[in-house]
Structure 1
């Protein structure tokens, strides 16, 4: 049976995918007490990487949509960290967003808004968080966005 968060996600037309496996020698998340640290999730949709460089071959709106996909992957990892019980989420604490962009591009916050806005829309006040949005000269596999997250959960 779906809980409150998955019901809200369904209302938004979102079904959480299976949590992606790590691509190297690291774990997808670490649970420490009531905190969950989720490794960076790259921009993917329908099993395909969303690639691009802001300021060169991708616009801000397209990258913000890619950031939204990163947020969905973060929630999938969080669900796995909670043993399938995503309603244990107390709040999103912090996101760090990395945007593959040229030195001249300065709209990194607008790109990461795609993730932030989605989390607030899906989770209400639990989704409000501290945040950093920074430029990266490149990201793994040429993806447009990578976002990591810190979450507080009920034990």
Structure 2
């Protein structure tokens, strides 16, 4: 089954590449690897602002991470021209805006990892890091970057 068939079954429409908010590019390809810059969580087209452990629950954080994954897939589509050209998702790194006592960054990041697994199947199994940080740009609750390998 095509990656696009899976996205359609999940009711996901890929967004266009977001305009960078600072001095960077959305993605860089070197050899067969594509590195996607960090994408922040957005809700209704605006930064999904908040901090895990202080007003945002783990379940809400998972939804935010899933939303970031959809944006990442839109950028990956733009970078590759065809998501079916992705051999595998290599690595996901997640920054979770959290209080010092919040310890479920790994569960928040599952919102992105699980969607990537649904979309790419075995090729979506990836290495991952999930960090709790004091702040994310624009006050967003989650920022995620991704590395993919092309066929």
For the aligned pair, the TM-score class normalised by the smaller chain equals over 0.9
Q: Counterpart in 2 of 1:114?
A: 111
Q: Which runs of 5 or more structure 1 residues have no equivalent in the other structure?
A: none
Q: How does 1:17-56 map to 2 (within 5 A)?
A: 17-56=15-54
Q: Counterpart in 1 of 2:64?
A: 66
Length-normalised TM-score, structure 1: 0.94
Distance 1:86 1:147 in 2: 19
Shift of 1:58: 0.4
Runs of 4+ in 1 over 4 A off after TM superposition: none
Q: Counterpart in 1 of 2:128?
A: 131
Distance 1:56 1:113 in 2: 19
Aligned length: 151
Shift of 1:73: 1.0
Distance 1:88 1:46 in 2: 30
Distance 2:48 2:114 in 1: 19
Shift of 1:48: 2.1
Shift of 1:46: 3.4
Length-normalised TM-score, structure 2: 0.97
Distance 2:93 2:146 in 1: 6
RMSD: 1.1
